[in-house]
Structure formats: C-alpha cells, structure tokens
Structure 1
Amino acid sequence: MAGLAVTIPYKPRPLQRRFHDERTRFCVLLCHRRFGKTVAAINDLVRQALRSPRENWRSAYCAPYFSQAKQVAWDYLKQFTGPIPEVKFNESELRCDLPNGARVRLYGTDNANALRGLYLDDLVLDEPADMNRTVWTQVLRPMLADRQGRALFCGTPQGTDNLLYDVWQQAGADEEGIWSRFRFPASETGYLPQQELAAARRGMDEAEYLQEFECSFSAAIKGAYYATLLDEAESAGRIRDILIDPAMPVNTAWDLGMDDSTAIWFFQMEPGGDWRIIDYYEASGEGLSHYAKVLQDKGYLYGTHIAPHDIRVRELGTGKSRWETARELGINFAIAPSLPVSDGIDAVRRKLPRCWFDQKRCSSGLKALRSYRREWRQEFNVYASRPRHDWTSHGADSFRYAVTGFRPVMDMSDAPRKARTDYDMWSQ
C-alpha cells in the first residue's frame, strides 16, 4: 500500500521467518502441532496482499471443510488485518477486503467446484492430506495459471497416500527452483518445552507421536516394514541426488508381473559395499521386449540382472519360460534364491542402512518401500505374518530380490570390469 505505513501485530519466530524469507512460488511446509503454521500462512497472504502492485489481487485460504476454515483461520485473519485502515470484513463469506483492492477469502475444499472459474494470485492449502488430489490438480492449480500465482501446502504428515506427500515429493524432485520445502519437527524447533513433549509421548501411541510432533510420513503406516529405516536414511542424507558412476556396472533386480506390474530397481555397488540405488522403473501390461527397450534407452553399463526363481516356469501359451524369452532379447538373468519372504524382509532391513537412494529417479519406488506393510487381520485384531499384497508389493519384492540375489563378482585383475550381460544395448 503505497504511501501508508501499516504495522501488522505479528512477530514471526526464527523458523517462521526462515519460511517467509526462503519460500518460492510453490512451497510445502511440514511442521509439528502448535508450531504456528496457520498464523504464518495467514500472515504470508496478508504481506503479499499489501505489497502486490497487481490490481484486484485475489487469494484463498483453503481448509478441508468450510467450517474448519472458519474455526481455524478466520479470527487470525481479522486479528492481523484489523489495524489496516478501511479494511472490511464479510462474515458470511469469510472475506477480507483491503483498501488497495486486494482480497483474502477463506474456503472449504469440500465444495471445491464452487471455486471453478475464479483466478488466484495466492493460495494456501491447510492440511492437504485431508483433501482430494483432484481438488488441486483439476480445480485449484488451473486457477493460478493466468496470473502465475503462488501456492503453499502446510500440514502434518498422514502417511504417503495423499496430496501432502505427493507435493512433498514433487518439491524434493524440483529442478527448476520453483518449489521449496521445509520440515520442522518438535525435537529441532525448541518451540515446545521438553517436559510437555515427554508428557505427550507418554500419553500417545509412538506412531502417533512421531506423526504429530516429529513430522514422520512413515509413522502413520501401521505395520510398515521399512518406513523407520527410510526415515533414518532421509535424516542421514542418504536420500538425495546421487551421481551415477559411468564406469561402474549398473545391476538390476526385477519383479516380473504377468497381468500386473513389473518393477525394476537399478543399483551400483561401491567398493566399500554401500549401494547406490540410482533408478527405478515400473509399468504394467507390457511384454519383456518393452523392458528390454527401457534398459537400452537408459544407456547404463549393465552388470547383473536378477529375477525371481519362478522366471523359469514355462508359459502354457508359448511353451517357453520368461527366462528363455529374456535370453533371446539379450538379458541373461541370475536367479534369486527361493527364500521365505520373512527371511528376505530381514535381509532388506539389514541392507538398508548401507543404501543411498536418488530422491528423484527413485521417488515412486521409495514410496512403495515406505508403504509396504504387514497384512492386518481384522477378525482377530492382529497382524498376519505375511505382507499385504497391493500396489507396494512390486517395488518391495524386486528390492528384496536385489538384496537376496545379488552376488558381486570379485575381479582380481587391474583390467576394467565388464558388464555381466551379452546384451549390446546399442547394436539394434
């Protein structure tokens, strides 16, 4: 607002100020309960409203329900814009009109279709884990397009199968610099007294505490096999951009589906024994020739290809096994041993602390590993001894075959190592 000095009664805490100063056009803010995310989000909108030179500037604060938006954010919006001269409030529409023509309005995404046809310069989605993904992709994202508006997603993790996790992953894989993300767990912010955190931990299920106060996506996945280990890998910086050594063989491990998905992990083994997990691919309804083409297009120097033991089973239609078909395509599979699934899961657990994952190329595979969990037997109110078979199984099974089936070739010479495959990727 040119020519008018307005003091908003908001003094951000250090981490809130960091968020204000460093956020980009699209931003994901994960924070523990009582961090002050709604206060920060509302003030971020107000600051933009007052500073923007655009005419008829419009913004929306969206909660999963209209009543929730009113309960959570309306009083804050009135509190922090109240000192602005000539500000006007519309109680029925939860709308704040500023004297420069800017407007901040609260909505519930339970009636998202009512938003169609509007435009936005700025947007906040509070607790997007409780929102339908299509609210963002089909309704709200197009509203930002013509004005190149901003969007903030803020909330507490609730597992991996929701919008909040999707945008968190998208922000981590961004290469254009338009996404940013922040994670502020209670153990690091210091905003809540340790005595209070200890009392909360005693009174809550451990998974509930980790979700609500430590911003853990994995904690909400009951019975998850690898979620905690992947959280540790992320905290230790082992889920990041991984360089591919062009002189080091890339090994692959496959879960071969018939009518469902085929999943392939790509990894390199360091001389010290650590694994670089550099890539992941999954598709369904395709024949082996499709996956041979995928390997060719990626252009890696291949080493060992690992398949499950049932690849040798002959198909009724052709009389040939997929192992034989793969050989005809130039892919020579090593066979993973037939072990109990529980033994393979234990082997993966032992291996994960020595694995480094590329956060972009492996994002969908990591999501599968995080969500892979035990079957819940509702009738007995207990977990079964077997894993649940769902969309996570393909990525988890192929990783298990990698761990149990890979045997490094000991090269005692000084000559460059050759990939263990007859498949000439560039000859066709």
Structure 2
Amino acid sequence: MPTIQLPNAGWRPRWYQKKAWDTWEQGCKRQLLFWHRRAGKDEINLNMHAVSAHERPGTYWHMLPEAAQARKAIWNAVNPHTGKRRLFEAFPEPLIENMNDNEMFIRFKIGSTFQVVGSDNFNSLVGSPPVGITFSEWALAKPAAWAYLSPILEENGGWASFITTPRGNNHAKSMLDEVKKDAFDRVTNPAGWFWEVLPVSVTEAMTAEGIDKQRKIYVGLFGQETADLLIDQEFYCSFAGALVGSYWGAEVARAEREGRIGRPIAVNPAYPVHTVWDLGKASNNPIWCFQVIDGTPIIVDFYLPDSEDLADWCKWLDDQGYKGNDYVPHDIMHPQWGTARTRLQTLKDHGRKPKMVGIASFADGVNAGRQTIKLARFADNERVADGIEGLKAFRREWDDDKKCFRDVPVKNWAEHYASAFRYLGLAWREAIVAVVKPAGDPGTYEARPDGSIRSNQTVKEAVDAMVRRRRAAR
C-alpha cells in the first residue's frame, strides 16, 4: 500500500488559518474561532480530526447544533469545486475500516472512531467518551453540551475546538468575553485557550463584489435592514443584533440593556417560589422557577433534569425550598412514562402543588412570553443564564420555497426552554400574592420604626370614615 500522509492530499491551512492550526499542533487544547462565513472553519477541523485520530487513537466527534443539520453540512456534503465528499478530502479512504451511514460513524483501521453528531442528542450517544470534539456553529448549539462534556475532556486530556460566526450577544459571545480575560501565550501557556475573530476585511477571502451579491440575495429574502445585519454578522463578525428569526431576541436584548438580566437576586423567603414545567422527558422538560413580588415576575432559577425519574425532579425542587405552585400544561393528565398513573397524581404524591395552565394558542403563548420578558427580572446564577440562552435561540422556521419565516418554531433544544416560558407567561399573574388588610382596629394608626405612620384602613374605609365624621359634625 502506498504511503499516506496526513493532512490528506497535501492539504495545508490557508495563510489566515495557519495561526490556529499551528497553536493546535503545538498543544493548545481549547480553541474559540469566530471566523467569517466561507473561511473554511469545518475544513480545518476535519483535518484536525484526521491527524489527531492517527496520533492518539480514541473517539472523535464533529458536532453541529442538530443531527439533521450535521448530516447535510458534513456527512453528505460534497465540495462543489472537486465533486468529492468533504469527509474523504480529509480522511483518506484506505485508512477507513468501515462506515455506518445511519449513525454517521467512521471506524479507522488504527482503531479510532469519528462521528458526526448534533448537540441536540449528544447525551444519548453510547460508546467511549470523546478525546477530541469540534463544536461547529457553536453560537447556535445547545450551551449545555459543553457543560456536560468539558469535565470529560478535562479528565482525559482531550481537545475542543469551537468554530462559529457570531449570532448576537449569546453564550458564544459570553465565552469569548471570558476567554479574552486571560490572554493566551502559546509559549508559556500551551494548554490554554486560543481565540480569534477573523472578519473578511482581514482575510480578504471574498471580494467586495461577492459580498455585495450576497447582500442583494438577503435583501430579497429579508429586507434591507435585516440584510445589512446579516452581512455584518456573517462576513464582518459583528455581534450586534439578535438572532434573525428569533421570537424574543429583541426583548431579551432590551432586558440586558436595562439591567434586568444578570444582576444578583436573592430568593425572598417571604414569597413562595413557583415553578413552570413543559412536561417532556428529562432533556425536554426544563423548569423555570420564579417569584412574583410587587407585581413583578422574578426569575430566580432554571432547572434542566438529568434523570428520567420525576421523583428526582421533585426532590431537587424540594431541596432548594421551592414549594409554591407547579404550573403545568394540560397533558399532565396523561399517564406517566411507563405507568398507568397520571403525572398529576405522581406530583401530588410527592407533595407538589400542580396547577394546570389555561389552554391558549401558540401565538398567545408567544405573546405572553414576550410581554413577560418586558417586565421580568432574571437572577445572575449559572442555571438561569443557560435558560436565557434558550429564550434568545427560540426562533422561527425558514420556508425556503416561499422565502419567508413561518410562524412555526424550529424544533430544537431552545424550543423546549421556550415552551416552559410560554406557560410562565400565561401563569405568573395567578401567582401574585393577594394584599391582605392588616389585622386590628381599622380606625387606629400605627407609628412605625422608620418614622412613618401606617393606617390599618383601606383607602375606601378611610374615605368612608371621613365622610361619616363630616356628617356627624353638621
């Protein structure tokens, strides 16, 4: 058999890719690359997998936001310039032992495996834990994927590469902000992070005419304003603007500007903490936890179960002291998974207080969520931040035939986060604590420690009493 060299077929990084490639070869195990569209992000990472799989036998994943998207963009993709599958441009076919098309899986003769996966189903994959992962289109991916996988790579010394174009001020931008705090020095800190933002104005990989042509396409599809945002985002790596097609992106962005997101908020023990459920399986059943204080919804926590046992979910909420109402959709009357009992009965058996949210259309739920975001305050804990990313990423499907957005949500991880929040939007006003008139003589006044005077009368009672006094004085 002829000698095969890697990278395959004499591939070499383009000049502007070379810094990222060199730092990876020198031992950098964490990369965050914001490169413009068509800068060759997946290309360089597929070659990283090919080399790494033959230097260190193990499991390697190339992860996109959704498994279906991964099949189209990587597994079945063909290079239009060569007519060859992208996979085989990076992976020489003589090195491949076998392939499984259904699972988008490759086994190399050396023993390593490579799989194309989605961040929507990564935790259902079986087999050895990965030692090398590419998170492609990271700004659109489920942020919990990294939270779940980072300890694995930390333990086994594996590498992770995050490649993306910006998609507004979301989890990918937050990661960049954190990484930039510790400048990477490839001499003294070879195991640290390497980050890079590469707009087309730096790489000059596309001509002005080519970008203008793309702008005109976007104008025809989305209008001038959105087209300009997309060009700035995809080609000039701008982080301004919300995700195109987002239901609530503008409202979340406004809440961030107004300081209603990310500020320390302690749970107020004088008010109950209520919960809102979507009632799917564990990964599809996010739970928002909130209080209502002075007529304002306060989002204090967000819980994404990691077990399929509803009893575990109840225990977690009880352990946090969250024992208010549990607002749930009407399918709570369906039998619990694998039993004849309804989930309503199971919740009650565990001491919870389920209340069904009124039936509303999808559009009404979306609007209720939107109006709630305009009022709400969100705590700064890590779990709530994960939930907020779901609100930002909740977006409409694009109809490629009609060239417009459909009023149907993309069925991904964010849709589940948003479903629970739609119920929160419909339910939180029911949780407003009623104002109870203080006990005691309604005619007396109380001097308070702060120097103020408080009456035990309501306004109506005080007015009625004044009227009676005036009549008696006549």
Q: TM-score, normalised by structure 1?
A: 0.53
Other-structure match for 2:188: none
Aligned equivalents of 2:287 and 2:276: distance in 1? 5
Task: Say which of 29, 34, 47 aligns to 1:111.
Answer: 47
Task: Say which of 225, 245, 254 aligns to 2:277.
Answer: 254
Instruction: Please say if 1:324 is aligned against 2:260.
Output: no
Question: Contact conserved, 1:128 with 1:164, CA < 8 A, in 2?
Answer: no
Task: Say which of 392, 398, 408 aligns to 1:386.
Answer: 408
Amino acid at match of 1:356: R
Counterparts of 1:134-213 in structure 2, within 5 Å, are 157-158=166-167, 164-165=172-173, 167-168=175-176, 204-209=227-232, 212=236
Other-structure match for 1:420: none
Deviations 1:351-380 (A, max 9, x none): 112122225221221222111112233343
Amino acid at match of 1:409: V
Deviations 1:90-120 (A, max 9, x none): xxx979xxxxxx999x995443254768xxx
Aligned equivalents of 1:72 and 1:337: distance in 2? 55
Deviation at 1:215, TM superposition (A): 0.9
Other-structure match for 2:289: 266
Amino acid at match of 2:366: I
Other-structure match for 2:434: 410
Deviation at 1:389, TM superposition (A): 2.4
Aligned equivalents of 2:225 and 2:241: distance in 1? 20
Other-structure match for 1:307: 328
Q: Secondary structure at the match of 1:215?
A: coil
Task: Say which of 297, 300, 304 aligns to 2:319.
Answer: 297
Deviations 1:283-332 (A, max 9, x none): 366132121111122234x3221001221235696443211221111111
Other-structure match for 2:239: 215
Q: Secondary structure at the match of 1:240?
A: coil
Q: Secondary structure at the match of 1:376?
A: strand
Amino acid at match of 1:411: V
- Long gaps (5+) in structure 1: 1-65, 78-92, 96-101, 118-126, 146-150, 185-198, 416-428
Deviation at 1:228, TM superposition (A): 1.7
Aligned equivalents of 1:412 and 1:391: distance in 2? 42
Amino acid at match of 1:72: Y
Aligned equivalents of 2:424 and 2:404: distance in 1? 30
Instruction: Please say if 1:71 is aligned against 2:94.
Output: no
Deviation at 1:230, TM superposition (A): 1.4
Counterparts of 1:338-377 in structure 2, within 5 Å, are 338-357=359-378, 358-377=380-399
- CA distance 1:313–1:208, shift in 2 (3 Å): same
Question: Contact conserved, 2:282 with 2:304, CA < 8 A, in 1?
Answer: no
Q: Secondary structure at the match of 1:72?
A: coil
Deviations 1:63-102 (A, max 9, x none): xxx999653377x99xxxxxxxxxxxxxxx979xxxxxx9
Aligned equivalents of 2:342 and 2:152: distance in 1? 48
- CA distance 1:157–1:258, shift in 2 (3 Å): closer
Aligned equivalents of 2:381 and 2:12: distance in 1? 34
Deviation at 1:388, TM superposition (A): 2.5
> RMSD of the alignment, in Å?
5.0
- CA distance 1:394–1:67, shift in 2 (3 Å): same
Question: Contact conserved, 2:136 with 2:162, CA < 8 A, in 1?
Answer: no
Amino acid at match of 1:256: L
Question: Contact conserved, 1:165 with 1:217, CA < 8 A, in 2?
Answer: no
- CA distance 1:316–1:274, shift in 2 (3 Å): closer
Aligned equivalents of 1:359 and 1:263: distance in 2? 16
Aligned equivalents of 2:162 and 2:395: distance in 1? 27
- CA distance 1:373–1:140, shift in 2 (3 Å): same
Percent of residue pairs bearing the same amino acid type? 24
Question: Contact conserved, 1:374 with 1:386, CA < 8 A, in 2?
Answer: yes
- Long gaps (5+) in structure 2: 1-9, 32-42, 57-133, 183-191, 198-211, 216-223, 440-474
Q: Secondary structure at the match of 1:369?
A: helix
Q: Indicate the structure (1 or 2) with the bigger Cα radius of gyration.
A: 2
Aligned equivalents of 2:355 and 2:47: distance in 1? 54
Aligned length: 290
Q: Secondary structure at the match of 2:383?
A: coil
Aligned equivalents of 1:318 and 1:144: distance in 2? 43
Deviation at 1:139, TM superposition (A): 12
